[in-house]
Structure formats: structure tokens, C-alpha cells
Amino acid sequence: MEDLDLRSMEEARRLLEAASAAAPRLAALSQESIDGIVDAIHLAAVPRAEAWARLAHEETGFGNVADKTAKNLFAAVDVYRFIRPMTTVGVLAEDHERRVIEIAAPAGIVAAIIPSTNPTSTAINKILIAMKAACPIVLSPHPSARRCVIEVAGVLGQAATAAGAPPGSIGCMSQVALEGTRELMRHPLTAIILATGGTGLVRAAYSSGKPAYGVGPGNVPAYVDRSADVAKAARDIVAGKTFDNGVLCSAENAVVADAPIAEALRKAMTDAGCLFLDDAAAERLSRLVVTPSGSLNPEIVGRDARTIAGKAGIDSPEGTRALVVTLRQVGPSAPLSREKLSPILAFYDEDGWEAACARCLEILAYGGMGHTMAVHARDRDVIMRFGLTKPVFRIVVNTPSATGAVGITTGVHPSLTLGCGALGGNITSDNITPRHLINVRRLAFEIRGRPPETAGPPRSSAPAPVEIPPPAAAAPPPAAAPSGPERAGLRERVAAILRMRELPGRPSGTPPARPVPAATPPAGAGTAPVRAEPPGPDAPRPAAFVCEADVRQAIEENRKIIVSQRSIITPAARDMGTANRVFIEI
């Protein structure tokens, strides 16, 4: 074991060094090149979705192949389609009014912790968003999912390299041990952590001294209101709870039924494949699911309902999809009120949405704060009351919670990494995307008319502050168009300015002027802005701000843009304008 720890730590350092060598080269790639890498990963993952699902199921024993295939395709297709149009390289945005330019800066090397419950889909998801953000990534799989994650990382790493990613951009640990994972998270080369796993691992990520996006537990309650479509609510709850045998942290764990429809809901859930247990069977199930130390028994995680029932000595008919236990309390005295990561549901009756609200709060406080809950109702007022007050950051409405929270059946950002916000001990409440792996550099230009203010009168021992020059006068409001002799005089002045700057064309009706010989530019200055003598008081004012769109329009209209040393020109605009000799600098 000691040798494995040392090998794992050494491998983590080696993979981080390779990623460090790749980082500056990856960050220097264009948006087009990064998108080409993301395209290649998508194309490599899609045809292997079922094979990787089968490999994950065989290695871990969790879930089922069909639903794991669906999760792999969700990561390889839905997540890909969502992130593909994103701008993640270079200038992200230009705010002309506030005179601020936002520029992408990759966060750096990502340490990605991969769980055993959703190994291949989580690996695909994290590799895609890291490459889109131009960040190298090193994966640390759960020991029980080692082979399938190594397979995914190897195939997608080869696809990325063939598409132009530098070697070392995608790495995966094969010598998996706790000490190696800790070394990966704490190493100085690691910039940011994406942690998906148990509570202890997520806490270790946050205590590593690195910025970390962790996913907390999801003890998800599903409230069914008296206004709900009860049959659909039952189908949705069972579909969510049984999806991949309940291993998604966003899966339903408890049903809170409004009293007037509780019996109808029980019948509808029974019709959908639920087996409601009596008190004796519930007690046997509780002893199986939760160990004497209070932890979840790993032997039931991700297993189907009939397998779990058999382990507990419970007879279950053919077609049983979920086991349901009626509870009256929440907490250690009711072990099955916790997150179960299997097709087992707690069931509560509450009279009215206010009482149901209080019960949902109890359930969330017992291991699900900040994560997710579901509401099944047609009364908009009830829906909004839950939305405005519940301490979670994903409230899915009239849909399975397991699939709605990640974005399969709803419009939230598609992701398999779900933040739980400060309530869940997480740094964000978002579904994690490439934007969470990008820092934003801001160019902020002085806004005319807003000079900096002194903090107060200078102390007697300090020199007087430098006088701030008054702001430039605001441009006068547009006046009515001149006519008659005034208009003719204006045409003469404009014509003189155009001739002085060698602008093409002249106002009609003005005689041609003697050409002004152009100065021979010095060697190497063929693309410098054209300079002219300062114009008179009637000359057009130089542009205060020029962006790429302004330059494109000027090129299309075959005209020049007058600028000065005080003009703010974006980098893209300067490159294009200089190359096409658009600027006249005064």
C-alpha cells in the first residue's frame, strides 16, 4: 500500500508537469483551434457511448447500461452543443458605454476528481469544458472506476492531440490512491479543482488551498401538490428515481404528498412500479441500507430494486422498480430519510403546502442544502412560493428531478457538475460550464467627465495634490442642417479638410484643389496610420472609441476614420484598420 501511495504521488507530479508544459501552448491557440479540439472530442465520444457505458457498468456494478449510455450521450452531445458557440478565447465582450473590454484568461491546470457512480459521463463532461476553456486537465478516477475512466481519457486525449492540442493537455492517473489524489489537488502546479464525489472528498478539495468547484450531497425532496397532475407526477418521480438506479445526486430521495391527493399518488406510484413496504419490511431495509456507523452501505448503491429487496429478505413481484417506505420523521432516527443513491424512496403525508414546505426544509437540512428539489403542481402561486423561499438552487417543476437538474429535461445549463452554493458549502450555485474555468481580464478606460477625486484635504505635511485638468467639453447637441450661403461655406471647409487628409471624393460643386504631395514613409512603416497636420477649429473631431465593427464599416464605405492619441482603439480594430490604412491620426 505504501508503494502504491508513492507511485500515485509520483504519477500525479509527472502528469502535472506535462500539463504545465502544455498550458501556455494551449492558451495561445485561437478560438478556431480550440473549437476544432472540442469538435474532435465530441466526434470521438459519440460512437463509443454505449461501449463506455458497458465498461463502467461491468467495472462498478452501478446502474444499468441503457441509462449510462444516455448519460454519456448527454455529455458528448448536449453539453457539446451548449458550449460549442461560446466565446472562450480573446475578447469576450466590449462595452462601449462603460469603455470596458473583457478578455478571456484560462484558469490553468484543472484537477478533476471522477466518481464511481457516473464515471465515464463525468469524465467526458469535464474534459470537454476544460478543453473549451483552454485549460489542461488531469483526471483522478475513483479506484473502483479506474479502467473505464482511463479508457475515456486515453481515447479523448488522442483525439485532442490529433486536432492540435499539445501533448499533456489531457492526463489521467492510473496509479490511484488517496495520497496521489491529495498530491494532485495540493500541488503548486494545480490551478483549480473540479471535485465530484463523496462529502469527505469534496471537503478535502475545499481544504486543499486551491480554488475548487465541489458538488455537495443531494437529498432531494419531491413535493406533489393537490393541484398536480397526479398520474404524471407519479411517473416522473419513478422515472427520476430509477434513472441509472438512482446514482445521480439530483435523483429524488423523498416524496412529500399533499394530504388530499396522497392516496391517489400512492396508487399511481404503485401502478408505475413502486412497492410500498410495511413497517417490518421497512425496518429490515433500513438495517441493510445504513450501516451501524451511520454510513451508506456501498453494496446497495446503484443496484436495482429487486436486488436490494432480495438482500433485505423482502419478497418483490416482477416489475418492481422502486421500494417506498412511509416515514414520519427526518434525521438519524429515520435512517431512510437520507440520500440513498439507489431506487429507494421515503414517503411523507402533509396537509397543505405550508406543512409540506416545512417537511421539505427538514429533508434538505438532513444532507441536501443548496442542491435540488422538485415541485409537481399546476397552481402557479404554490410553485412560486417554493421557488422564492426554498434553500436550493435548482427547483425543477413537473419533471423528473434526476434529469431536470442536469439539463436533460429542462433548459438549465447542461452539466454533470452541479454547484450547491454557500448553503451546500460550495463556491457556486451554478451548473458548471467552461466559463467557470476562465478568468476575465478587464481593460477599463477612463470615462470622460469623471476625473478621480481626492480623498480629502491634504495634510499639512504632505504636498498639495496635482491639479486634475477639467474634463473635455461635451459635444454640443446636433443643430439644424445649414442652408444657403452658410451651407456653401461649410462645403468649402469640408472640402479643404478632405483634401488635406487625402480622403477620396469631394463635395459636389467644389473646384478641385492643387494635390498635396504625400510624404514618403520611412522603411518598415508601410502599415502605420496616415498623419496630417492638426486641423483648424472647424475640422471633424477625432473618434473617442473605435471597435472592429467601426473599421469594417469604414472599409465597406471606402472612407477613413480620424483618430488621435487620446482615441481608444480595440486591439482587433487597430490591427484591421492599420492593415487597411483606414486611420488618419491628427
**The sheet that has 91-95: what strands, in order across it?**
91-95, 100-106, 438-444
Q: What is the pLDDT of residues 248-299, one digit of tens each?
A: 999 999 999 999 999 999 999 999 999 999 999 999 999 999 998 888 999 9
User: Do residues 323 and 345 lie in contact, with contact meaning Cβ atoms separated by under 8 Å?
Assistant: yes
Q: Residues 6 or more apart from 44 whose CB is under 8 A from it?
A: 155, 156, 158, 159
The confidence score (pLDDT) of residue 452 equals: 58
Closest by alpha carbon to 342, among 365, 321, 318, 361?
321
Asked if CATH classification 1.10.490.10 holds for the domain at 2-215+435-442, the reply, yes or no, is no
pLDDT one-digit tens code per residue, 3-31: 899 999 999 999 999 999 999 999 999 99
CA atoms of 377 and 390, how far apart (whole Å): 15
Grid cell, residue 146, equals 479506474
Distance CA 356, CA 362 (A): 10
- Crossing angle for the helix pair 49-60 and 65-73, nearest 10 degrees? 130
- Look up the pTM and report it: 0.76
- At residue 232, the pLDDT reads 98
Is residue 83 within 8 Å of 128, Cβ to Cβ? yes
Block means of pLDDT (10 residues each) for the chain, 586 residues, are 85 97 97 97 97 97 96 97 97 92 97 95 98 98 96 98 98 95 95 83 79 84 97 97 95 97 98 97 95 90 96 96 96 93 96 94 91 96 92 95 95 92 85 96 83 51 42 42 47 49 39 36 40 50 80 87 80 81 82
What Cα–Cα distance (Å) separates residue 448 from each residue in 11, 451, 456? Answer: 55, 7, 22
Number of H helices, E strands in the chain: 19, 20
Tens of pLDDT, residue by residue over 22-81, are 999 999 999 999 999 999 999 999 999 999 999 999 999 999 999 999 999 999 999 999
Q: Is 249 known to be catalytic?
A: yes
Can you give 360-386 as a three-state secondary structure string? Answer: HHHHHHCCCCECCEEEECCCHHHHHHH
Contact 174, 156 (CB under 8 A): no
Terminal alpha carbon distance of the chain: 74
- The DSSP bridge partners found for residue 323 are 275, 344
Q: What integer pLDDT is reported at residue 229 of this predicted model?
A: 97
Domain ranges of the chain: 2-215+435-442, 220-410, 484-503+527-585
Q: Give the other-Cβ count within 10 Å of 64's Cβ.
A: 18
Q: Which of 249, 274, 360, 420 is catalytic?
A: 249
Residue 557 CA to residue 451 CA, distance in Å, equals 36
Give me the CATH topology for the region 220-410.
Answer: Aldehyde Dehydrogenase; Chain A, domain 2 (3.40.309)
Specify the pLDDT at position 538. Answer: 55
Q: Which pLDDT score, from 0 to 100, does residue 540 have?
A: 67
